[in-house]
């Protein structure tokens, strides 16, 4: 956690807090990015449906979107509980929920049960993000230190993407030497089961984690106001609430509407189409690795710039404007004709898109007071990002049934290009109305 300010070095307990938050952010994305990697082989085993058919696309869309809706609804409730019950308690239970849900998903025998456990996994992830951001923001009152802590801990989200890509690669490579599950050695099952990892150190560390001093002090003094969803739409917060939810949806829309479909586009490339299934899966994980490297670089770049650029609009546009230019040709050309060009193109698109997720984690705590912080963040992240934004996945898979192209991957690539470009345009247009925070300190 870089820190250049004298007298603001982190204490051992603060390092522990940052480590727990980073672990949570890391495995948030680890759990979410499992699905693009495992959805194809899981559908082939559990339902025996052919890729590219309407039934296949419908199940892919449901597995992406229904968990996001459940996560959004319960995540909104989780934000409210974060303001009512405390940041630490909600953070810990949410991590345990998604870890054990992901593990249970590895043993399912039907698509319906896979969908159920993906829903409970998503609920845990949605709640954890809000609780962790509010917790960190209030534990570090110095503005520059807070921006750095929020930025660099969120960067571990992309390390989660790298880890799940590596886990899937290892599962594909060594599946036959692992214990049999449900009569087989399917790599997607081992990948899902690996999601239990974050629960193990958390069980040991949990008793040593402090509550947010800001929240705890107000709670003890009896001055902590009751959170209210209705207050988010009062004149003081209405514009921020609606606009951040919409823009959060645009950020997620670019990811779920375009980037997360790349693993199903890669098998249609000329260099890949004739290979066996195991070889194709290894190449898919390789492309995913480039994408996650891009996301990691983007999050670190955001963290670096967040403490140096005062204007939040300018900070966001540094990533939006290049994305508008680069995303369309990556999906309209590279994803159809050139594997090597796709790797580097998706690295850049990942950098520009995933950095925007960290932007919202830094921006939102500065827009709401203590008693509304979790509730306000959860509305933007869960209603905007998780529910509205992830619907872009369903939009892309539906649109793929009607776009031109000789093969399913080509149709999907065209659909992803259209949806990704539209979400970038909408997010950039909305940025002109984004409120600037009034000061560096958090609202009381």
More confident call, 342 vs 264: 342
Please tell me whether residue 184 adopts helix, strand or coil conformation: strand
Please tell me whether residue 181 adopts helix, strand or coil conformation: strand
**In whole angstroms, what is the distance from residue 160 CA to residue 23 CA?**
9
Mean pLDDT check: name the lowest of 146-155, 157-166, 201-210, 262-271: 201-210
Please tell me whether residue 291 adopts helix, strand or coil conformation: helix
Are the beta carbons of 134 and 373 closer than 8 angstroms? yes
CA-based nearest residue to 299, from 150, 129, 126, 125: 150
More confident call, 216 vs 415: 415
Within 10 angstroms of residue 206's Cβ, the number of other Cβ atoms is: 16
Mean pLDDT check: name the lowest of 140-144, 248-252, 381-385: 140-144
Q: What is the pLDDT of residues 358-374, one digit of tens each?
A: 899 889 988 998 888 88
What is the structure's pLDDT at 5? 44
Q: Decide if pLDDT at 87 tops 60.
A: yes
What is the structure's pLDDT at 207? 63
Q: What angle do CA 31, 35, 37 make, to 5 degrees?
A: 110
Q: What is the pLDDT of residues 191-248, one digit of tens each?
A: 999 888 877 777 777 667 788 888 888 888 888 888 888 999 999 999 999 999 999 9
Burial 368-377 (b: 16+ CB within 10 A, else e): bbbbbbbbbb
Q: What is the DSSP string of 363-393?
A: HGGGTS-GGGHHHHHHIIIIIIIIIIITHHH
- Detail the DSSP E strand segments found in 138-179: none
Q: What is the pLDDT of residues 28-82, one digit of tens each?
A: 788 877 888 888 889 988 987 887 788 888 888 888 888 888 888 888 888 888 8
Q: If you average pLDDT over every residue of the chain, what do you get?
A: 87
Burial 25-55 (b: 16+ CB within 10 A, else e): bbbbbbbbbbbbbbbbbbbbebeebebbeee
Are the beta carbons of 437 and 312 closer than 8 angstroms? yes
Q: What is the DSSP string of 197-264?
A: TTHHHHHHHGGGPPPPHHHHHHHHHT--PPP-TGGGGSTTTHHHHHHHHHHHHHHHHHHHHTGGGHHH
Q: What is the pLDDT of residues 190-199, one digit of tens each?
A: 999 988 887 7
Are the beta carbons of 430 and 247 closer than 8 angstroms? yes
Give the single-character DSSP code of 195.
G
Q: Decide if pLDDT at 89 tops 50.
A: yes
Within 10 angstroms of residue 158's Cβ, the number of other Cβ atoms is: 29
Q: Which tokens sit at 80?
A: 């409210």
* Residue for token pair 């997607």: 188
**In whole angstroms, what is the distance from residue 123 CA to residue 188 CA?**
21
**In whole angstroms, what is the distance from residue 105 CA to residue 336 CA?**
33
């Amino acid at each position: 956690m870089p820190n250049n300010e004298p007298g603001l070095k982190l204490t051992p307990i603060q390092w522990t807090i940052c480590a727990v938050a980073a672990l949570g952010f890391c495995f948030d994305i680890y759990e979410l990015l499992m699905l693009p990697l495992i959805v194809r082989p899981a559908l082939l085993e559990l339902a025996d449906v052919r890729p590219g058919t309407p039934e296949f696309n419908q199940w892919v869309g449901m597995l992406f979107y229904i968990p996001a809706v459940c996560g959004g609804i319960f995540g909104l409730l989780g934000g409210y509980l974060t303001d009512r019950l405390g940041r630490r308690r909600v953070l810990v239970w949410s991590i345990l929920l998604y870890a054990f849900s992901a593990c249970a998903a590895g043993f399912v025998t039907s698509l319906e049960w896979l969908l159920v456990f993906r829903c409970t996994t998503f609920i845990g992830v949605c709640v954890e993000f809000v609780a962790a951001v509010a917790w960190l923001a209030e534990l570090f009152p110095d503005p520059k230190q807070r921006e750095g802590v929020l930025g660099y801990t969120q960067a571990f989200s992309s390390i989660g993407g790298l880890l799940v890509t590596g886990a899937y690669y290892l599962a594909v490579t060594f599946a036959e030497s692992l214990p049999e599950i449900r009569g087989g050695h399917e790599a997607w099952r081992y990948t899902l089961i690996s999601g239990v990892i974050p629960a193990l150190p958390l069980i040991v560390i949990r008793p040593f984690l402090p509550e947010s001093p800001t929240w705890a002090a107000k709670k003890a003094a009896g001055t902590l106001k009751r959170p209210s969803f209705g207050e988010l739409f009062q004149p003081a917060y209405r514009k921020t609430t609606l606009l951040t939810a919409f823009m959060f949806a645009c950020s997620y829309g670019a990811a779920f509407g375009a980037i997360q479909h790349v693993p199903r586009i890669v098998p249609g490339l000329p260099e890949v189409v004739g290979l066996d299934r195991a070889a194709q899966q290894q190449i898919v994980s390789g492309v995913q690795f480039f994408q996650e490297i891009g996301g990691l670089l983007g999050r670190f770049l955001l963290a670096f710039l967040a403490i140096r650029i005062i204007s939040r609009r300018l900070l966001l546009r540094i990533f939006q404007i290049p994305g508008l230019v680069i995303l369309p040709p990556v999906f309209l050309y590279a994803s159809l004709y050139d594997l090597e060009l796709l790797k580097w193109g998706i690295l850049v698109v990942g950098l520009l898109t995933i950095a925007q997720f960290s932007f919202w984690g830094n921006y939102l705590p500065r827009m709401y007071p203590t008693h509304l912080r979790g509730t306000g963040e959860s509305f933007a992240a869960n209603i905007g990002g998780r529910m509205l934004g992830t619907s872009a996945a369903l939009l892309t898979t539906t649109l793929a049934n009607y776009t031109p192209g000789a093969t399913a991957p080509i149709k999907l690539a065209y659909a992803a290009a259209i949806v990704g470009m539209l979400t970038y345009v909408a997010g950039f247009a909305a940025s002109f109305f984004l409120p600037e925070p009034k000061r560096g300190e958090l609202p009381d």
